[in-house]
Chain A
Amino acid sequence: MPPRFSWPILGVALLIAAFLVAFLIVPVLTVIWVAFADPDGGFTLAHFAGFFSLSLMRESFANSLYVALATVLASTLVAVPLAYLTVRFQFRGAIVIQTLGVLPLIMPAFVGAAALQLLFGRSGSLNLILDDWFGFTLPIMQGLNGIVFVETLHYFPFILLNLSVALNNIDVAMEESAQNLGAHGWRLFRRIVFPLAMPGYVAGASLVFIKVFDDLGTPLVLNVTNMLAPQAYLRVTSIGIEDPIGFVICVILVAFSVAAMAGSGAFLRGREFATLQRGGQSLLRRRLAPWQAVLAYGWIGLVLALVLSPHLGVLLLSFSRVWSYSVLPEAWTLAHYATVFGDSSRMIWNTFVYCGLAALIDVSIGTAIAYLVLRTRLPGRQLLDHMATVALAMPGVVLGIGYLRTFRNVEIPLTGTALTASWLIFVLAYSVRRLPYALRSCMAAMQQVHTSLEEAAQNLGASRAGTIRRVIVPLMAGGILAGFVTSFITAAVEISETILLTSRESLAPMSYGIYLYMQSIAGRGPGAALGVISVVMVAFGTYLSHRFVASREAHHIARGKP
């Protein structure tokens, strides 16, 4: 490892640190401070005492915890078989399943929840059929368990993705020796495979926990208010009241998310997961026995049907003129698409620009941090990693309010426009909140580039900058692209910050447009149409990048890449 200290490296590190402090730490602190401030600006813990004295708050806390944990459990039941079957067995359509598994993430949660109401709600298609044929209905979308249902469908891909990667990396020799020693089936999975894949599972599960614990949109669409995030939102956004208890809840949300992340880190530390050889191409895929295959395809079919149901609902809605108390819409139209292309094409363009730039910033910073952490011995370099990762735990509402507060009097140099009134604010907000995703991809990619390649380049006379540009970045391209796509997708469906930060409709991205349309009866159709367009575009982008990564890998293998 080249350990040297140098001025350019220190400069880059300070630049990144300044960016994170200005656009993440300071805005969050301005919001959190309210929870500790008395009217004279002094420090007080009275608001926390107030919080804990309310039985409603204790109940909300318990409900949020229940929903988050139940969703982790339900997501595990969905994702683990899906990941295990498609990665470790000869399976037809494995790539299709893996791609479809990502689809839920590329739809704003509130759109999915609205579509699910039409299919599984009180008078949704399913319940109308059940009532007609059997005379009973199922309360699928009601109460806390309704939230668990919707959140599971939306967030289980986090476990699926992380676990698939981890399963792919297990040394096949481990599995084979276990089999030779007589372990099969469930025992093999429980004692050998799953424990080895633990890092991936824990990473995914803690993400699901954080996302669900902080989620605001789904409880609100299902009209459940006795949970922490909705309580914070209701208290902070009421007219004329600035209620510190709302901010106390923000602090608790942040604290819990950070604790979940730190907890998963501590759980994994001190255990040995590494195996000598990576899985990769040597991976042996086993065959399923016929009865197993029937079960496996049946389960996967059921899961996929559920996973795709929000998309199906939105698609139906986007073509329907009237859909009311019936199993399917009764009148069809293409007019909603015409409306959307007529007056929202600017929003589609805006989404591409904001999310593209934000993702670009993310992979640049992500690559730089990965380099600083893995390839230098700069003191305090881990701090950059931790700071960037904390953004994962920041609820969008907190960051949104923080931006408005912190930058309300800041002007962009030379233009004279306020920062909060310009489109740059979206790029900054998106890039900060999506940085952790890109950072993880870049880290993983750089860990797989062997240092001997860099040393060889430098021995041949390449400068450090030249080595980064000509050797490291090209070798990391797959990982960087994956990071870019994840940042882009998740930024494109972000809504809570977006609503707060939109200062003019002409600056608004697509997610705001969908939200706006969905506020009126006549707007449901166009809103759904815009949702369909966004899903199709993002899915197409994801598919292209998968193709790109796959072809690059094939290329490298052909050239004998190590």
Chain B
Amino acid sequence: MTRSTPASAAFASVALVAALSAAAFVPAASAQTVTVITSFPKELTSAYKSAFEKANPGARLEVLNKGTSAAVAFTRETPAGSRPDVFWASAPDAFEVLAKDGLLEKYDPGVKGIPDRIGNYPINDPQGYYRGQALAGYGIMWNTRYLKANQLPEPREWVDLARPAYFGHVAVSSPSRSGTTHLTVETILQGEGWAKGWAQILQIAGNSAAITERSFGVPDGVSNGQYGLGLVIDFFGLAARNSGFPVEFVYPSVTAIVPANIGLVAGAKNAEWGRRFIQFTLSPEGQKLLLDPKISRLPVLPETYKSAPAGYPDPYGGRIRAKVNFDSDLSERRYYLVSSLFDHTITFRHKELAAATKAIHEAAARLAARPNAQGAKLLAEARELAFSPLVDEAKMRDDSFVKIFRETKRDAESQKRMTALEEHWAKDARLNYERAADLARQAGKLAQ
């Protein structure tokens, strides 16, 4: 058999491909490659990539896109010297974690014109590890077609989302999954107070059709009409609207304006050019890129707003009334408590919470038509059971309690404490929701 067999021909051709690709993949040994690790979407990073490379001929920007928590894990697991150069993401918590682990290097790009504070919130890290690069507020986004088809009114405030009309039409994400959702939840908790804030969050979650796994699941679902409305960070809503989707966005009065950050990674491959990139993102030219309709973020440099299109929200101009002065120390202190409590009583028990919420709405409607004192009492009891947090304010302020969430879980004792607590929450939440649904049904019957 002398002819070359197809199998060996296949071998040969693949070997050729391999050789070619090996040649193509020998890394260009130029020192001007900057690697940026970020959670930001491709439109934003592509815009910065092309602008930066144009402004610095010979430089190459490598973007590494990962979710915020995955990006932190990646930076941590990579040995010094081959880490990415710049870390760029929304959640300040991620930067706090990195700074604590010694993974950030102080750097002051010396850009002029950026104020120190937005409201009460420092734009740059007081210790100098990271800097605010854009501003973000939180709000409500809705699909105009969806609301029209289902004859629903447009919302203005968080509390509107708890109204019976919106049952099954809302979407929220979970704070443990997305830094931005965590900030939204924390904003409501700080703006309304612990108990009232949780009551609001529980009612909104009870009205929700889904607790989405990623924060992007909410704007995505609202844009394509799977959900009617949702809690989102502003640029998701603005970018969707500016890309032509039938959606609207509003900042409720209980909102906080918080910076999205950028920082230089310690042990970076190319720190010098990492610094240049950070400087570029804060320059007037770099700030202006944020105004692109597909990006729609709020620049941190006030003068940029002069070239913004009409109607563009300006956090410095008083168009957004941010009532909440965000306290990041408080947020950081109870970070894991808030996330765990949300997951164990809302995310994982969503079915029971939604059932209780539905029963309460129905009973309330009946009682409104035929008032009944005993029924009203039962309904109030049901509301209390379903919409109170399982951890009260005193306990939240108790340091020894909050500490359980910060300990390493590898130790058998703390592991045991933690699982006992989780189990307790899971059981109580289920029991409360089921009892609340029961009481509400009884209350509804009394109205007949």
Tell me the complex Cα distance, A234–B336, Å.
Answer: 13
Known: A39-B408, A117-B226. A237 touches B64 (CB 8 A): no
- Whether B339 and A226, one on each chain, are in contact in the complex, defined by CB atoms closer than 8 angstroms, is no
Residue B94, interface by CB 8 Å: yes
Tell which of B111-119, B274-282, B321-329, B412-420 binds the partner. B412-420
Given contacts A46-B415, A225-B348, A322-B245, contact A520 B239 (CB under 8 A): yes
* A233 closest partner in B (C-beta): B213
Q: Please tell me if B97 contacts chain A, counting CB pairs below 8 Å.
A: yes
- 0/1 per residue, B162-192, Cβ < 8 Å to A? 0000000000000011010000000000000
Q: A47-B415, A505-B62 are in contact. Are A38 and B410 (CB under 8 A)?
A: yes
Chain A 312-361 residues near chain B, CB threshold 8 A: 321-326, 331, 343, 349, 352-353, 356-357, 360
Q: Look across to chain A and name the residue whose beta carbon is closest to the beta carbon of B69.
A: A239
Q: How far is the CA of A325 from the CA of B222 in the complex (A)?
A: 9
On whether the beta carbons of A423 and B419 are closer than 8 Å, the reply is no
Against B, the Cβ 8 Å flags (1 = close, 0 = not) of A482-494 are 0010000000000
Which residues from chain A contact B64 at a C-beta distance below 8 Å?
502-505
Establish whether residues B93 and A519, one from each chain, have CB atoms under 8 Å apart when the complex forms.
no
Option from B65, B408, B419 in Cβ contact (under 8 Å) with A505:
B65
Give residues 499-516 of A contacting B (CB, 8 Å). Answer: 499-500, 502-507, 516
Contact of B17 among A220, A242, A356, A481 (CB under 8 A): A356
| A243, B110: Cα distance in complex, Å | 41
Tell me, rounded to whole Å, the shortest Cβ–Cβ distance linking A49 to chain B: 8
A409 lies within 8 A of B14 (CB): no
B402 at the interface (CB under 8 A from A): no
Question: Cβ of B270 < 8 Å from any Cβ of A?
Answer: no
Residues of B within 8 A of A324 (CB): 143, 145, 223-225, 245-247
Say which size band chain B's interface belongs to: 35 or more
| Distance in angstroms between the alpha carbons of A499 and B5 in the assembled complex | 38
Which of A220, A409, A522 has a CB less than 8 Å from the CB of B239? A522
B230 to chain A, nearest CB (A): 12
Interface presence of A263 (CB below 8 A): no
Q: Give chain A nearest CB distance to B432 CB in angstroms.
A: 15
Known: A39-B411, A237-B69, A520-B41. A325 touches B143 (CB 8 A): yes
Is A474 part of the contact surface with B, judged by Cβ < 8 Å?
yes
Residues of A within 8 A of B18 (CB): 353, 356-357, 360
Q: Which residues of B contact A477 (CB under 8 A)?
A: 5-7
Distance in angstroms from B40 CB to nearest chain A CB is 9
Within 8 A of A (CB), among B215-230: 216-217, 219-220, 223-227
Stretch of B77-85, B256-264, B299-307, B384-392 that contacts chain A: B77-85
Pair B73/A237 contact, Cβ less than 8 Å: yes
CB neighbors of B among A213-260 (8 A): 220-221, 223, 225-226, 230, 234, 237-245
Shortest Cβ gap from B206 to chain A (Å): 16
Decide: B14 and A408 in contact? CB cutoff 8 A: no
Interface SS majority for chain B? helix
Complex: how many Å from CA A422 to CA B82?
Answer: 11
Closest residue to A421 on the B side, CB-wise?
B82
B447 within 8 A of A: no
Interface members, chain B 223-254 (any A CB < 8 Å): 223-227, 236, 239-240, 243-247
- Whether B426 pairs with A519 at a CB distance below 8 angstroms is no
Contact call A519/B415, Cβ cutoff below 8 A: no
Q: For the complex, what is the distance from the CA of A507 to the CA of B216, rounded to whole Å?
A: 25
User: How far, in angstroms, from A44 to B410 measured CA to CA in the complex?
Assistant: 10
Inter-chain CA distance A243–B405, complex, in Å, is: 11
Query: Is B1 touching A470 in the complex (CB atoms < 8 A)?
Result: yes
**Interface residue from A37, A481, A504 paired with B410 (Cβ < 8 Å):** A37
Whether B77 contacts A408 by the Cβ 8 Å rule is yes
A517, B177: Cβ atoms under 8 Å? no
B residues in contact with A356, CB < 8 Å: 14, 17-18
Which of A94-102, A118-126, A281-289 is found at the contact surface with chain B?
Answer: A118-126
Knowing A238-B69, A325-B224 touch, does A122 contact B209 (C-beta < 8 A)?
Answer: yes
Chain B positions within 8 Å of A418 at CB level: 79, 82
A384 within 8 A of B: no
| A18 in contact (CB, < 8 A) | no
Smallest CB gap from A503: residue in B: B64
Name which residue of chain A comes closest to B169, CB basis.
A122
- Please determine whether A230 and B213 come into contact, CB atoms closer than 8 angstroms: yes
Q: Is A53 in contact with chain B by the CB < 8 A criterion?
A: yes
What chain A residues lie within 8 Å of B220 (beta carbons)? 521, 524
Residue in B82, B246, B420 whose Cβ sees the most chain A Cβ within 10 Å: B82
> How distant is A406 from chain B, measured CB to nearest CB, in Å?
11
Least Cβ–Cβ distance between B345 and chain A, in angstroms: 11
- Report if A130 contacts B (CB, 8 A): no
A333 CB to nearest chain B CB (Å) = 10
Q: Which of A7-50 contact B (CB under 8 A)?
A: 37-39, 44, 46-47, 50
Is residue B210 contacting chain A, with contact meaning CB distance below 8 A?
yes
With A239-B72, A360-B11 already in contact, the answer to whether A352 and B336 are too (CB < 8 A) is no
B445 within 8 A of A: no
Residues of B within 8 A of A405 (CB): 77
Tell me the bound Cα distance from A223 to B230 in angstroms. Answer: 15
Closest residue of A by beta carbon distance from B411: A39
In this complex, what residue of A is CB-closest to B25?
A423
On chain A, the residues within 8 Å of B400 by CB distance are: none
List chain B residues, Cβ under 8 A from A543: none
> What is the 8 Å Cβ interface bit string for chain A, positions 505-542, against chain B (1 contact, 0 not)?
11100000000110111111000000000000000000
Q: Which residues of B contact A38 (CB under 8 A)?
A: 410-412
CB atoms of A239 and B245 under 8 A apart: no
Interface status of A383 (Cβ within 8 A of chain B) = no
Cα–Cα distance between A523 and B47 once the two chains are bound (Å): 14
Question: How far, in angstroms, from A50 to B415 measured CA to CA in the complex?
Answer: 7
Who on chain B is nearest to A124 by CB?
A: B226
CB proximity to B under 8 Å, residues A103-162 = 117-118, 121-124
Give residues 50-66 of A contacting B (CB, 8 Å).
Answer: 50, 53-56
Is B423 an interface position by the 8 A CB rule?
yes
Q: How far is the CA of A420 from the CA of B153 in the complex (A)?
A: 52
Contact pick for A484, options B10, B145, B347, CB 8 Å: B10
Q: What distance in Å separates the Cβ of A144 from its nearest Cβ neighbour in chain B?
A: 11
B27: interface (CB < 8 Å): yes
B contact residues around A449 at 8 Å (CB) = none
Interface check B35, CB cutoff 8 A:
yes
| CB atoms of B43 and A473 under 8 A apart | no
A404 interface contact, C-beta 8 A: yes
> Nearest chain-A residue to B217 (Cβ)?
A223
Asked, given contacts A356-B14, A520-B42, whether A234 binds B69 with beta carbons under 8 Å apart, the answer is no
B296-322 CB contact bits vs A (8 Å, 1 = yes)? 000000000000000000000000000
A480 proximal to B (CB < 8 A): yes
Q: Are B66 and A499 in contact (CB under 8 A)?
A: yes
B145–A234 CB distance below 8 A: no
A-B contact list, 22 entries, CB within 8 Å: A38-B410, A56-B344, A118-B224, A239-B93, A240-B97, A242-B408, A242-B409, A242-B410, A244-B415, A245-B419, A325-B149, A326-B145, A353-B21, A356-B14, A360-B11, A405-B77, A409-B79, A476-B7, A504-B35, A517-B42, A519-B216, A520-B239
Using a CB–CB cutoff of 8 Å, the interface residues on chain B facing chain A are 1, 5-8, 10-11, 14-15, 17-18, 21, 25-27, 35, 41-43, 46, 62-70, 72-74, 77-79, 82, 93-94, 97, 143, 145-146, 149, 176-177, 179, 209-214, 216-217, 219-220, 223-227, 236, 239-240, 243-247, 294, 336, 339, 343-344, 347-348, 408-412, 415-416, 418-420, 422-423, 426-427
Closest 4 CB pairs of A and B: A325-B225, A520-B41, A46-B412, A325-B145
Q: Using A53-B420, A520-B42 as known contacts, list a sample of 5 further A-B pairs with CB atoms less than 8 Å apart, ordered by residue number in A.
A: A38-B412, A50-B416, A243-B409, A325-B149, A521-B219
* A interface residues (Cβ-Cβ under 8 A, vs B): 37-39, 44, 46-47, 50, 53-56, 117-118, 121-124, 220-221, 223, 225-226, 230, 234, 237-245, 321-326, 331, 343, 349, 352-353, 356-357, 360, 404-405, 408-409, 415, 417-418, 420-423, 470, 473-474, 476-477, 480-481, 484, 499-500, 502-507, 516-517, 519-524, 548, 552
